[in-house]
């Protein structure tokens, strides 16, 4: 028995488990007035393979008809529906393929590089260069941190010495016009002023040392590396000896204009010590 020739399409073309799909068959049968044997067709369907939701049969033009089978597949692979008889003639369906989500491959597009605003690349390059400069500068500072620390300490000491010199000179000159001081008081204050100056200059504590110990201690600190200063340090030593005599001797008095002479000696010695 020859079957009914038909044209079959699957809607949609790709189906997956659980999808609602349609097999639509169009065929030509002249002088035909029968209905499809739907009940017999449904009795042959394996419910574990697919489920038939609806079978529709309708005219599609003169002597043309359309059969639509709406179904839901429940397994992957090929599904073959049994033939359906129309007017005693079988209409055979083509097998349909049910896709597997696990095996289907999704074509991935190549990643698109980020869209940069005009000038952004230059800013990025500039930021990288600046960062490298900072890193190199930081490394250089770390490597030479000892030299840098020494330089900073030296500059701070210079500023302190410069300020100490100005204060010392100002105080020595101010004492010349102070007529309220006795000779012993004047000698004591001169020593205190010079002790503070030498303590700052040579970073040592000379406030509690005997006057005779101060200059030898200074020579020990400089270790002979400033021999050109020896003359000026000697002048300061002479002033300490003279003011010690004025302070502690019962006959200790200053001669006429000796305050001016001793002050000039100290100012000259300070200038010599501070000279490059």
Q: From the first residue on, what is the mean pLDDT of each consecutive set of 10 residues in the chain (276 residues)?
A: 83 90 89 83 88 89 88 91 88 90 55 60 85 86 72 84 93 91 94 94 87 84 72 90 90 90 94 82
Which tokens is 195 given?
Answer: 């002790």
CA 129 → CA 124, 132, 140, 180, distances in Å?
9, 5, 16, 69
Is 270 in contact with 229 (CB distance < 8 Å)?
A: no
Nearest by Cα to 164 from 152, 156, 174, 176? 156
CB count, 10 Å around CB of 110?
A: 5
Bridge partners (DSSP) listed for residue 96: 79
Q: What is the structure's pLDDT at 242?
A: 92
- CA 70 – CA 1 distance, rounded (Å): 27
- CA 97 – CA 101 distance, rounded (Å): 13
The residue length of the chain stands at 276
Beta strands in the chain (DSSP E): 6-11, 15-16, 21-28, 50-61, 64-73, 77-79, 84-86, 89-91, 96-99
Nearest by Cα to 198 from 158, 155, 154, 168? 168
Which tokens is 227 given?
Answer: 């021999």
Q: What is the structure's pLDDT at 103?
A: 60
- CA 5 – CA 110 distance, rounded (Å): 46
Exposure letters 144-181 (e unless 16+ CB within 10 A, then b): eeeeeeeeeeeeeeeeebeebbeebbebbeebeeeeee
């Amino acid at each position: 028995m020859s079957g009914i020739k038909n044209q079959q399409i699957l809607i949609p073309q790709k189906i997956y488990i659980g999808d609602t799909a349609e097999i639509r068959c169009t065929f030509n049968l002249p002088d035909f007035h029968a209905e499809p044997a739907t009940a017999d067709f449904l009795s042959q369907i394996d419910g574990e393979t697919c489920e038939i939701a609806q079978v529709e049969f309708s005219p599609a033009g003169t002597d043309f008809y359309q059969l639509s089978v709406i179904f839901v597949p429940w397994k992957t692979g090929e599904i073959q529906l049994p033939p359906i008889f129309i007017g005693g003639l079988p209409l055979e369906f083509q097998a349909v393929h049910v896709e597997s989500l696990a095996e289907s491959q999704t074509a991935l597009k190549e990643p698109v590089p980020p869209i940069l605003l005009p000038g952004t690349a230059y800013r990025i390059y500039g930021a990288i260069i600046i960062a490298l400069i900072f890193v190199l500068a930081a490394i250089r500072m770390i490597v030479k941190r000892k030299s840098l620390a020494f330089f900073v300490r030296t500059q701070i000491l210079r500023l302190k010495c410069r300020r100490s010199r100005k204060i010392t000179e100002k105080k020595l000159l101010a004492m010349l016009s102070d007529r309220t001081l006795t000779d012993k008081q004047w000698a004591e204050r001169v020593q205190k002023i010079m002790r503070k100056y030498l303590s700052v200059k040579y970073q040592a504590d000379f406030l509690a040392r005997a006057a005779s110990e101060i200059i030898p201690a200074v020579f020990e600190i400089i270790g002979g590396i400033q021999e050109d200063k020896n003359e000026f340090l000697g002048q300061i030593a002479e002033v300490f000896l003279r003011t010690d005599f004025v302070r502690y001797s019962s006959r200790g008095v200053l001669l006429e204009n000796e305050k001016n002479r001793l002050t000039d000696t100290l100012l000259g010695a300070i200038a010599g010590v501070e000279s490059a």
